[in-house]
């Protein structure tokens, strides 16, 4: 039960109560006895409501000063984003918060969102369905894009709840799209014929073929291997990051804090050695924008549209086809999540399915013949 006690050697009072969300004991301090008594009465009322199964949340929030979306986002920016070092992550969260305020004005109380109603396309909808429909119908965002924003908003509002800036859940995991509500993820799957056609194309220069092999065999992301990056100079690949004797390079991969040593095939290293001997200032002496121009030129020559990321996918698909192992395909491109490999790079191959079917048949046949 909540209690009130004077603080020794101080002219104030302490009210101790159990947080109904976390079930942990907490303390609040007051400068005079009357304020402390009011707080004590409040928490004992909450306890009574909980005990009798009444709507204790409404009672709790009636006496809380409403906090606006703007206040929550400002607090998140000052206390979380200010400590981050990844400029892309910071930019993403700020874009997410701005998208929220396009639908719910910044002066909206966080307590109002879940019960808010609007008529959209003749249908009355409420809560985060308002956000989903307006972002899709008015602002033209895809459902997967909206869902990624909802994931980040869930993180922001959960942070505010944990910090006790708010005392009522604003967004739940169930507010996000269900899997069946999202369009399938489509990515380029390379055929044997396409690979042969592209790499043997007689109108591609040797330099173009070297670029293709570099990306297809390192499986690196473009911004991990280009030599010039004004926004993230610490990610640039320089000659000092390459060990030509051991066929190794040091890459700063996505979500990594330090460079990791990656083995590369000798044929790829021979390309880098050639560029080094030619006097190139950096291994891939260009910006991301310049690299994309090179890839687009290759696309135009061969008549097939693909990106640097599709060349990264090529490596994962080749490894999975040869090894029949999703984890090895992931490791080949520096991604340890088999779910990401399945959904974005290299799904289950026919060879894997055949191997599984053969194993099942052999097992069944062995049992039948015993």
- Going residue by residue through the chain (370 aa), what tens digit of pLDDT does each one get? 889 888 876 668 888 888 887 788 888 877 778 778 878 888 888 888 888 888 877 777 665 566 899 999 999 999 999 988 888 889 999 999 999 999 999 989 888 898 899 999 899 999 999 999 999 999 999 999 999 999 999 999 999 988 878 877 899 999 999 989 988 888 888 898 999 999 999 999 999 999 999 998 888 889 999 999 998 899 999 999 999 999 999 998 887 778 988 888 889 899 999 999 999 999 999 999 999 999 999 999 999 999 999 998 888 888 888 887 777 777 777 766 666 666 666 666 677 677 766 776 677 567 657 6
Residues 201 and 324 in one domain: yes
Residues 17 and 134 in one domain: no
Q: Is 321 helix (H, G, I), strand (E, B) or coil?
A: helix
Residue 341 lies in a domain: yes
The C-alpha atoms of residue 28 and residue 13 are separated, in whole angstroms, by 8
Domain tally, the chain? 3
Residue 358 lies in a domain: no
Burial of residue 11 (number of CB atoms within 10 Å: 0-12, 13-18, 19+): exposed
Residues 43 and 89 in one domain: no
Residues 75 and 169 in one domain: yes
Residues 330 and 201 in one domain: yes
Residue 367 lies in a domain: no
Residues 200 and 281 in one domain: yes
Q: Is 15 helix (H, G, I), strand (E, B) or coil?
A: strand
Residue 10 lies in a domain: yes
Please report, for the domain that includes residue 314, its CATH number.
Answer: 1.10.443.10
Residues 151 and 206 in one domain: no
Residues 197 and 345 in one domain: yes
Tokens matching residue 46? 């909450």
For residue 198, what are the domain limits?
192-353
Q: Is 140 left (phi over 0), alpha (psi -120 to 50) or beta?
A: left
Residue 145 lies in a domain: yes
Residues 291 and 213 in one domain: yes
Given this model, what pLDDT does residue 201 score? 94
Residues 207 and 174 in one domain: no
Residues 289 and 320 in one domain: yes
Cα-based torsion angle of the residue sequence 46, 50, 54, 56 in order, rounded to the nearest 10 degrees: 40
Given this model, what pLDDT does residue 323 score? 80
Nearest in space to 176 (alpha carbons), one of 155, 156, 148: 148
Residue 22 lies in a domain: yes
Given this model, what pLDDT does residue 274 score? 95
Contact status, residue 111 vs residue 104, Cβ threshold 8 Å: no
Residue 359 lies in a domain: no
């Amino acid at each position: 039960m909540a209690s009130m006690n004077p603080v020794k050697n101080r002219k104030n009072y302490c009210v101790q109560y159990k947080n109904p969300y976390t079930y942990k004991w907490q303390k609040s301090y007051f400068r005079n006895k009357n304020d402390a008594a009011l707080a004590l009465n409040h928490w004992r009322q909450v306890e009574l409501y909980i005990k009798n199964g009444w709507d204790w949340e409404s009672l709790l929030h009636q006496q809380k000063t409403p906090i606006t979306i703007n206040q929550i986002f400002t607090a998140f920016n000052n206390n979380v984003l200010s400590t981050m070092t990844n400029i892309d992550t910071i930019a993403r969260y700020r874009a997410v918060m701005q998208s929220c305020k396009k639908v719910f004005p910044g002066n909206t109380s966080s307590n109002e969102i879940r019960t808010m109603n609007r008529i959209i396309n003749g249908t009355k909808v409420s809560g985060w369905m308002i956000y989903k429909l307006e972002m899709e119908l008015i602002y033209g965002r895809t459902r997967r894009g909206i869902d990624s924003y909802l994931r980040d908003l869930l993180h922001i509002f959960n942070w505010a709840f944990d910090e006790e800036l708010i005392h009522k859940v604003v967004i739940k995991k169930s507010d996000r799209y269900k899997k069946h509500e999202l369009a399938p993820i489509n990515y380029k799957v390379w055929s044997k014929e396409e690979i042969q056609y592209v790499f043997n194309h007689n109108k591609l220069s040797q330099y173009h073929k070297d670029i293709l092999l570099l990306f297809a065999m390192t499986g690196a992301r473009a911004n991990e291997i280009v030599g010039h990056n004004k926004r993230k100079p610490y990610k640039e690949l320089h000659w000092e990051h390459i060990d030509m004797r051991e066929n190794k390079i040091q890459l700063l991969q996505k979500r990594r804090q330090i460079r990791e040593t990656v083995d590369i095939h000798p044929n790829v290293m021979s390309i880098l050695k050639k560029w080094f001997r030619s006097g190139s200032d950096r291994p891939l002496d260009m910006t991301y924008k310049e690299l994309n121009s090179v890839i687009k030129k290759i696309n135009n020559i061969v008549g097939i549209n693909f990106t640097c990321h599709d060349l990264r996918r090529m490596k994962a698909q080749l490894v999975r086809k040869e090894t029949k192992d999703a984890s090895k395909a992931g490791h080949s491109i520096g991604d340890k999540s088999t779910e990401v490999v399945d959904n974005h790079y290299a799904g289950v191959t026919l060879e894997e399915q055949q191997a599984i079917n053969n194993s099942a048949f052999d097992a069944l046949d062995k049992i039948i013949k015993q």
